[in-house]
Structure 1
Amino acid sequence: MNNRKLEFSMTLMVCVICAIGFGLIAVLVGNAKIQNFDHTIISVIQGIEAPRLTTIMKFFTMIGNGIPIAIITFVVMIVLYTFLGHRRELIFLVCVVIGSALLNTLLKLIFQRARPDINRIAEAHGYSFPSGHSMAAFTLYGVIAFLVWKHVPTTIGRVTIIILSSLFITFIGVSRIYLGVHYPSDILGGYLMSACWLTGSIWVYQRYLERSERTRSTH
C-alpha cells in the first residue's frame, strides 16, 4: 500500500509539474513574452542549415506526420497481438495515441497561434501551439518504450530503448524548428503536455492491470 501511495504521489507530481510548465509557456505565448527565447533558438538551429542536414530533418519530420505515425502504430499493434498476444497493451497503445491527437487538436483550437514565417523550408498548415509532431512523437515513442521495456530482460536492452526513443522524440521536435514550421515554445509545450498525458495514462493502465490480477486471483 505504501509503495502504491508513493507511486501515485510521484505520478501526480510529474503530471502537475508538466501541466504547470505547459501553463506557463501558454501564458507567455498568449502575452507574446516568449518571442526572444523563440527567435534565439530558431537562429541557432537554422544557423546550421546545410543541404544534407535538411534532408535528414525532412526525414524526421516525415515520420512524425499523421500517416507514418498511423503506420508505425499499426505495426506495433501487429507485433503486440501476433508475437506477444497482449490485447490489453494493444488497446492501451491505441487509446493513448488517439487521445494525444485529440488533445492536441483541442489545444490548437484554444490557443490558435499562427505559425512562424522565418526561413520556411517546408510547408505546414493549421495552428502552431502546441506542436502536433512533438506531442505525437513523445506519446508514440514514449508508449512504445514503456510497452517494450516490460519485455526486455537486460539492462543494456532497456537503456538502448530509452536512448532510441529519446533520439526520435528530440530529432522530430528539432526538425520542426529547423524547417521553420514551429516555434521552440511550440515544441516544448507539446513535450510537456504529452508527458503529462502519457504519465497519467500509464498510471491508470497499471492500476487496471493490478485490479485485473486481483480479480483473477480471487476466482
Structure 2
Amino acid sequence: MLTNVNMGNDDRNHRQQTTTKSNKVGNRRNILIAIAVFLVSITAFGYLAHEVVQEKEDMFDSATFLLLAPYTNKFTLIIMRGFSFFGSHLFLLPAYALIVLTLCIKRHWRDAVIISAMAISSYALMLILKDYFHRSRPNLRLAQIVNNYSFPSGHAFSSFVFATMLIHLVWQSRWNNKEKYVLSALLVLFSAIIGISRIVLKVHYASDVIAGFCIGMAWIAFIVCLNALSPKPNNEKALPKTTTNDNK
C-alpha cells in the first residue's frame, strides 16, 4: 500500500520536474526569438531614422501618398478616421484601464502589472522619441490639426503594442487554437489598418508608420525578454516522499 503511494508521489514529482525543464526550454527559445526580433526591428528603425530624419529622404513617402491618392475620398476618409480613433489615447487609456481592472478582479496580478507597465512605458517612450527626432508632420493634413511631432507614428506604435497585449490574453484563454490564430491575425490586421489610416489622412508619412511598427516590435520583444527572465510564482510544490516501514 505504502509502496504504491511512493510510486504515485515519485511519478507526480517526475512529471513536475519534466514540466519545469520544458518551461525552461520554452523560455530560452522565447528569449532567443525576442532578441532576434529586437535586433531586426531596431536596425530597421535606425535605418529609417537615418534616411528620413537625418538625410531627409522623401521619395518613398511621396510615392506612397501618390499611390493612395486615387482611393482617398469622403467615404474612405470617414472610415479611416474611425480606424484612427482606435489608435488614439481617447480609446487606448480607457481600454487599458478596463483590462487591468478586469485582471485585478480575477486576481491575475502578474498580467495586470505587466500590462500596466507596458501601457505607461510605451506612452513615455513614444513622447521621448517624438521629441528627440523632431520631425514635422505633412503639410496637407486631411484630419484634425495635430501639434506634436511626426516620427515615429504614435498610433502605429500604440496600436501594435495594444494588439500584441490582446493576443497575449487570447492565447491564455480557453478558446481552441483555430480561434486563437484567427483572432490574432485579425488583431494584427486591425493594427495595420490603423497605421494605414494615418497615411491616408496625411497626418503621418509612410516612414513614420513603418518606424512606429518597428519600435513597437522592438519594445514588445524587450518586454518578452524581461518577462521570460523574471522569476515566476510557483504554486506547485513537489509531494513529500513517504518512507516505507518494512516492520509493519
TM-score normalised by L of structure 1: 0.90
Unaligned runs of 5+ in 2: 1-23, 239-248
Partner of 2:61: 38
- Letter matched to residue 227 of structure 2: Y
1:110 aligns with 2:142: no
**Aligned-partner Cα distance in 1 for 2:107–2:233:** 17
Report how far residue 87 of structure 1 moved: 1.5
Partner of 1:86: 108
- Letter matched to residue 44 of structure 1: L
1:206 to 228, 231, 236: 228
1:57 aligns with 2:80: yes
1:148 aligns with 2:170: yes
Contact 1:122 1:179 in 2 (8 A): no
Change (3 A) 1:159 1:6: closer
Report how far residue 60 of structure 1 moved: 1.0
Report how far residue 37 of structure 1 moved: 0.4
1:26 to 36, 40, 49: 49
TM-score normalised by L of structure 2: 0.80
**Aligned-partner Cα distance in 2 for 1:109–1:97:** 19
* Percent identity of equivalent pairs: 23
Q: CA RMSD in A?
A: 2.0
State the number of aligned residues: 215
Change (3 A) 1:69 1:3: closer
Report how far residue 2 of structure 1 moved: 5.1
Change (3 A) 1:122 1:179: farther
Report how far residue 43 of structure 1 moved: 1.6
Report how far residue 3 of structure 1 moved: 4.7
Change (3 A) 1:158 1:3: closer
Change (3 A) 1:148 1:80: farther
Change (3 A) 1:175 1:10: same
Higher radius of gyration, 1 or 2: 2
Unaligned runs of 5+ in 1: none
Partner of 1:186: 208
Report how far residue 147 of structure 1 moved: 2.2
